[in-house]
Structure 1
């Protein structure tokens, strides 16, 4: 009897504990999954509509296109005004209003559910017009118009393309900012920070330098400086982000030894990486002496229209310069005057009007092109870089160059001066280089203007 009483009391004591556990499990979710999803839809819609001056969307399509900036103003009546300025809408500011909705599809999804000429052009599956290769039929630009909402706050929204999985970020546009002015400023920032006249930019990292070619495309051809451009080049679309740029995803290099994505202009004028663990990395133009006395190997794409495809080939790129004829100092002034006198004596009335300076990577030589009113001729120099200076050696000219060189002692003296001592080179900027100051000595200087 005593044994049964003990057992009964044990059950009575255990009962409240069992009841307590059951109550805790029932309280884990106060609302059903459907209710929680509906609440998220309402919250995200409110966030979209709450930005006083709309949102800036950083939109990416595929690896062979730049990032595109869209401005969007959402209204609770489910309309959305969208504005942009890019090549696919004529490089002009345009805006158009259409409809949007946050729908439920295994989670909240932002959909732009009526056609918008400005926005849906990138999700149209037709072949992309005005491209050399007709191979985009069925997928077009590979852009999305529906986006899974990954995160949404009043100052930041993170989306993921539903079909192509590109990460799309949105931030509120500052109040009072004119939309058209903002888009113009974004384009101007990229063009003035990353000049199309610089043959490559260079990403400096702890494991080496990566050449970033074709900045004017809106996406880089990226390859380690000592790598094989044909087999190791990656494409990196980028977009303006704050006072800098952002890659469409973290770039790890062909050897996956780095991880960089976000860059901001620093006090030195370079694009400094802001990603954790990579803050010593930065992007800048090559050293000035490299820009005037060398070329850079890059990959380019050769179009085979018969096969309807592009083939990667090795190429060489360099900066083009023009000598500022009013910049000569010291003995260079007299040398230039003497050269003109000898040219005029050989061909009556002719004087040098321009001197172009360009390194040719395919022939591995520096060419100076002299032009008068009626004639032009080329003088060639070998160039090497030692201790940060350019050392030139005259190696002859083209057919015209040899004639002018042999008949004009002033041309000979001018060429000899360029070869008389190592030339120090100083650029006016670490990013958007426009001028290089050339010093043969402290007294004898001139400058080059980039073309």
Structure 2
């Protein structure tokens, strides 16, 4: 009897639990398929909500190989329309450095989650996905740039200024930034490229300085788009670390954003910087004390010559009225003896600063004659002092053209050395003394 009673009680308990489970509310009011369809519609509306479209900071892969175009970043513009078409534009090596615009289809599709798909061929984005692309250095047949044309939606809030997507195959994060209404695509790309070329020129080996808390680093070869960032004063080969970045423009300000965040000594991350035009420096978006700065012009002036480079002063360089008058007197002096004065250069020869005059006789090729200057580096500039010709050829020319001595004597003195335009671009620098005595030689 006891056994029968126990079995009866167990059956009753099981029925009670079953009844409770049946009465419990569903965790979701709709099925997974229905929720996915809702998210597709939601993200479609949000991409379409920017009338001018979006800036895509597009990186084909997560590589950091300086010889591989798949490691670099590319600025793409995309305008998503209600009719399922997308207008895209770019101006980079994949478009032969000319403005390219194309239109194709797009859609938010269902996968494991919502995915943005550029699902018909577009000359802009699919150029990075074509395995047959072999026209650029760093591309191989059957590989191309290895880029994505489908992106998992990571984050795109309602009316968001930014959205984050992730390449479906390569896993590279792609940030979208909302464009201001009325943005002209060609003008935008030209503006950003001009700013980038101005700040990070390939014509002079400028070195940037990155400061993250107590950590100070050199940033070399920024013009390549994938600079080597290593401890300041360290070994650029033994301690190399490559960090691709892109420049974009938002709310009339220029932003420098690395593909991957860098870590400060205390573990704080810094990834994006905004340009402060007044102070000529990039400051951290999250922490303004983190900076990317240009070089010290005075140090660069000297270091460039010690590395075997020269600074040239010609008639097209910017000069104060008094220096220009002296310079033109030298040109006139050469003309009087039927020679053509071309330019002068500053260079370092075995630790000796020399000013070299380049001129062309009436017959024959160009001739260089050298003159010595004492040179002392100061914290903000340098002191120059003319000491005389290197050889008899220089002395003979001085005797024939006294205006050269007048110019050299005017060079004597202590100079402040500053950037001609910006410390990020020391292609030309300004040497100044007093209120109206200065000249701007060009890196050569």
Q: TM-score, normalised by structure 1?
A: 0.75
CA distance 1:267–1:54, change in 2 (3 Å):
closer
CA distance 1:327–1:272, change in 2 (3 Å):
closer
Alignment of 1:196-215 (within 5 A): 196-205=202-211, 206-207=213-214, 209-215=216-222
Alignment of 1:386-425 (within 5 A): 386-391=378-383, 402-409=391-398, 418=411, 421-425=413-417
Alignment of 1:21-420 (within 5 A): 26-62=25-61, 63=64, 64=66, 65=69, 66-126=72-132, 128-131=134-137, 136-153=140-157, 154-155=159-160, 156-205=162-211, 206-207=213-214, 209-241=216-248, 242=250, 243-244=253-254, 245-252=256-263, 259-276=269-286, 278-295=287-304, 320-322=311-313, 327=319, 337=329, 341=333, 348-350=337-339, 352-357=341-346, 368-374=355-361, 375-377=366-368, 379=370, 385-391=377-383, 402-409=391-398, 418=411
Residues 321 and 358, structure 1, Cα contact 8 Å, conserved in 2: no
Residues 305 and 347, structure 2, Cα contact 8 Å, conserved in 1: no
Deviations 1:295-335 (A, max 9, x none): 399xxxxxxxxxxxxxxxxxx58674425678367799669
What residue is the counterpart of 1:438 in the other structure? 431
Deviation, structure 1 residue 158: 0.9
Deviation, structure 1 residue 280: 1.3
Deviation, structure 1 residue 117: 2.1
**Counterpart-to-counterpart distance in 1, 2:156 and 2:136:** 37
Residues 298 and 379, structure 2, Cα contact 8 Å, conserved in 1: no
* Count of residue pairs the alignment pairs up: 410
Residues 54 and 72, structure 1, Cα contact 8 Å, conserved in 2: yes
Deviation, structure 1 residue 447: 0.7
Deviations 1:175-224 (A, max 9, x none): 22222222222222322333444422422414354333333333323333
CA distance 1:84–1:333, change in 2 (3 Å):
closer
Deviation, structure 1 residue 77: 3.9
Deviation, structure 1 residue 30: 2.1
Q: Which secondary structure state, in structure 1, belongs to the residue aligned with residue 192 of structure 2? A: helix
Deviation, structure 1 residue 37: 1.9
Q: Which secondary structure state, in structure 2, belongs to the residue aligned with residue 88 of structure 1? A: helix
Deviation, structure 1 residue 225: 3.1
Deviation, structure 1 residue 102: 2.0
Structure 2: which 5+ residue stretches go unaligned? 1-11
**Counterpart-to-counterpart distance in 2, 1:328 and 1:394:** 20
Structure 1: which 5+ residue stretches go unaligned? 1-11, 298-315
CA distance 1:256–1:385, change in 2 (3 Å):
farther
Deviation, structure 1 residue 412: 7.0
Residues 85 and 92, structure 1, Cα contact 8 Å, conserved in 2: yes
Deviations 1:109-162 (A, max 9, x none): 21222222221111122353242x6x6344322321111110123333210112
Residues 292 and 359, structure 1, Cα contact 8 Å, conserved in 2: no
CA distance 1:364–1:27, change in 2 (3 Å):
farther
Q: Which secondary structure state, in structure 1, belongs to the residue aligned with residue 440 of structure 2? A: strand
**Counterpart-to-counterpart distance in 1, 2:76 and 2:113:** 24
What residue is the counterpart of 2:8 in the other structure? none
Q: Which secondary structure state, in structure 2, belongs to the residue aligned with residue 239 of structure 1? A: strand
CA distance 1:49–1:336, change in 2 (3 Å):
closer
**Counterpart-to-counterpart distance in 1, 2:387 and 2:53:** 62
Q: Which secondary structure state, in structure 1, belongs to the residue aligned with residue 174 of structure 2? A: strand
Residues 292 and 358, structure 1, Cα contact 8 Å, conserved in 2: no
